């Protein structure tokens, strides 16, 4: 989605560069991502940033790896759970100002659920397959542009509908997520409200633009919400 993205071979190694016009309405997203990436665990290293000729450029250390499989029985699930466990225990950098998750999703929270999404932990909020890399040292997490403060179980919870969309039953997906301690120890009622919120969010996105992947995630989120509601 960047105006410019390229892999550069340099004398000191490979660098992945993202760039955008400095006067673009979305330039703040690049600045935000760079600041969070510098503090985020398992993120690619931010090597440099520059501004010139009307452009913002950010150079990240290139990572060698492949996208994970979320399918049932995938060997990638164990290192993925480990990665989300590491992120869930990481505090949001106080010097980075960002609207918290509760504010971002406020219009989708069901009545009586106010405050459920409060939290000051690092939340990536977009842990799809294409934002993850399986490397020789485990799963690394890419593209922190949508990161914000949230509950420590946020990313493990957001993984559940993605696992369902990949072929897991809601119960199987919940079982995988429960290997992340923050999710396992979360209040079931809060998770139930969150599942309902995420279903409403995906339903809204799908109504606006019914891409096949959005339709699939909306269905998965609805199935998770039903299960979580019964459990809560």
Q: Hey, what domains does the chain have and what are their CATH numbers?
A: 4-61 (3.30.200.20), 77-231 (3.90.1200.10)
Distance CA 82, CA 42 (A): 11
Find the length of the chain: 232
Low-confidence residues in the chain, pLDDT < 50? 232
Question: Could you report the per-residue pLDDT of 193-221, keeping only the tens digit for each?
Answer: 999 999 999 999 999 999 999 999 999 99
Q: Is 141 helix (H, G, I), strand (E, B) or coil?
A: strand
Distance CA 38, CA 36 (A): 5
pTM of the model: 0.93
The reported pLDDT for the residue numbered 196 is 96
Question: Could you report the per-residue pLDDT of 50-65, keeping only the tens digit for each?
Answer: 999 999 999 999 999 9
Query: Could you identify the residue written with the tokens 């560069």?
Result: 17
The reported pLDDT for the residue numbered 230 is 61
The reported pLDDT for the residue numbered 208 is 95
- The token pair at 185 is 């120890």
Question: Could you report the per-residue pLDDT of 99-116, keeping only the tens digit for each?
Answer: 999 999 999 999 999 999
């Amino acid at each position: 989605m960047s105006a410019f993205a390229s892999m550069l071979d340099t004398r000191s190694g490979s660098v992945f560069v993202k760039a955008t016009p400095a006067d673009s309405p979305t330039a703040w997203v690049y600045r935000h991502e760079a600041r969070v990436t510098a503090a985020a665990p398992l993120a690619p290293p931010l090597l440099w940033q520059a501004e010139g000729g009307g452009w913002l450029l950010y150079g990240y250390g290139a990572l060698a790896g492949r996208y994970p499989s979320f399918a049932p029985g995938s060997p990638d699930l164990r290192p993925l759970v480990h990665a989300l466990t590491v992120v869930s225990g990481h505090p949001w950098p106080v010097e980075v100002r960002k609207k918290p998750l509760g504010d971002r999703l406020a219009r989708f929270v069901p009545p009586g659920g106010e405050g459920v999404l409060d939290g000051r932990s690092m939340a990536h909020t977009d842990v799809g397959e294409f934002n993850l890399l399986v490397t020789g040292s485990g799963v690394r997490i890419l593209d922190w542009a949508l990161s914000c403060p949230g509950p420590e179980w946020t990313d493990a919870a957001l993984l559940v509908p993605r696992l369902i969309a990949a072929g897991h039953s809601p119960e199987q997906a919940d079982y995988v997520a429960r290997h992340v301690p923050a999710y396992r120890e979360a209040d079931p009622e809060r998770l139930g409200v969150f599942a309902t919120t995420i279903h409403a969010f995906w339903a809204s996105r799908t109504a606006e633009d019914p891409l096949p992947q959005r339709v699939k995630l909306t269905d998965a989120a609805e199935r998770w919400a039903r299960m979580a509601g019964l459990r809560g």
